[in-house]
């Protein structure tokens, strides 16, 4: 098992803040918009340096999406920011009609996604957003795993023509990917190679997958561990290359099982190479209030549960 270490933990939303500040300095067309959440989205640096390219829309998310769509007509690249719950569920009609239908170059940047929003509870924790966004034609869906990858993804989406949903979070998590990485939309990253089981993870669950790989290695089981940072377009080639070697798989995500990463993996396997698949995610329920660690434990989004799922997948494998 390849060894991954870290010296610092940081929230992925701060990676977004660092990325958009760098974009502001290099791309004069980048505009930041928010719905009364500038601090939560880490926009302070951008606002200080580029106040003329910042739009405070207030608690009016639908209007923010409409303004963003309009800005693209003048050649601007709007980054519309708010909590993931409000960035998707509250404004789905505006995203569908004003952004995706006409393929507008709007970047929807959503913080506080998943269970790890924590104590704010179920009304603010969205676990359906990846599914909602990936079903929209023309939409690209990205869910990076740490500070560095979120910063790199933020910079990369400015060069991508078309709608993007960029998902990130509130809790501090280990920084383990390179600071100088080049983010390639739609290209999965192989973190470890092994012949026994494929583990496909996204977002905060990537680090849990790495820890699971270490635990499995102690038992003599070597896993393919793949960071699926882009849910759409989906890197089917990477998934199939892995399972053709291991013949069994696990998906891991901080999202509902319906509509998320596991759903995409399952569709790919069923079409091209059916093998046993175990899914780690939320089982058709809302979240609740609690610390991020408490919620990850209660809903089974842990390295230990990934290990258990890997063993179940291996037991079901046809030799």
Domain ranges of the chain: 9-174, 189-314
Under 8 Å CB-to-CB from 297, ≥6 apart: which residues? Answer: none
- Between CA 111 and CA 293 the distance in angstroms is 18
* Helical residues (DSSP H) of the chain, grouped into ranges: 12-26, 44-49, 61-73, 84-88, 92-94, 129-134, 147-157, 205-217, 236-246, 261-272, 292-298, 303-316
**CA angle (144, 164, 30) in 5-degree steps:** 100
Q: What is the pTM of this model?
A: 0.97
Is the fold of 9-174 the same as that of 189-314? yes
Residue 99 near residue 163 (C-beta atoms within 8 A)? yes
| DSSP 8-state class, residue 285 | -
CATH architecture assigned to 9-174 = 3-Layer(aba) Sandwich (3.40)
pLDDT recorded at residue 102: 96
Non-local (6+) Cβ contacts of 281 within 8 A are: 251, 252, 253, 254, 255, 256, 257, 260, 261, 262, 301
CATH topology of domain 189-314: Rossmann fold (3.40.50)
Residues of the chain with pLDDT under 70: none
Which pLDDT belongs to residue 318? 81
The DSSP letter of residue 124 is T
């Amino acid at each position: 098992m390849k060894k991954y270490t870290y010296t610092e933990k940081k929230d992925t939303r701060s990676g977004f803040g660092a990325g958009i500040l760098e974009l502001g300095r290099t791309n004069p067309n980048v505009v930041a918009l928010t719905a009364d959440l500038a601090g939560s989205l880490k926009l302070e640096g951008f606002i200080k340096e580029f106040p003329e390219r910042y739009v405070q829309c207030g608690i009016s998310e639908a209007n923010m999406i409409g303004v963003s769509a309009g800005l693209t007509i003048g050649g601007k690249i709007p980054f519309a920011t708010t909590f993931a719950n409000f960035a998707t569920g509250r404004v789905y009609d505006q995203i569908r009609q004003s952004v995706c239908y006409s393929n507008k170059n709007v970047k929807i940047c959503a913080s506080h996604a998943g269970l790890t929003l924590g104590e704010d509870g179920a009304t603010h924790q969205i676990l359906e957003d990846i599914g909602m966004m990936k079903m929209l034609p023309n939409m690209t869906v990205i869910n990076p795993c740490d500070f560095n990858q979120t910063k790199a993804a933020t910079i990369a989406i400015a060069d991508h023509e078309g709608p993007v949903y960029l998902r990130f979070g509130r809790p501090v998590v280990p920084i383990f990917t390179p600071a100088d990485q080049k983010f390639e939309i739609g290209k999965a990253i192989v973190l470890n190679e092994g012949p026994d089981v494929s583990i496909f993870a996204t977002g905060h669950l990537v680090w849990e997958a790495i820890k699971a790989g270490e635990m499995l290695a102690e038992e003599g089981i070597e896993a393919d561990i793949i960071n699926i940072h882009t849910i759409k377009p989906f890197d089917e080639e990477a998934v199939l290359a892995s399972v053709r070697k291991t013949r069994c798989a696990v998906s891991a995500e901080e999202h509902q099982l319906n509509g998320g990463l596991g759903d995409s993996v399952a569709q790919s396997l069923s079409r091209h190479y059916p093998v046993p698949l175990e899914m780690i995610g939320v089982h058709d329920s809302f979240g609740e209030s609690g610390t991020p660690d408490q919620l990850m434990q209660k809903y089974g989004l842990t390295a230990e549960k990934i290990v258990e799922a890997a063993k179940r997948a291996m037991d079901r494998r046809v030799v």
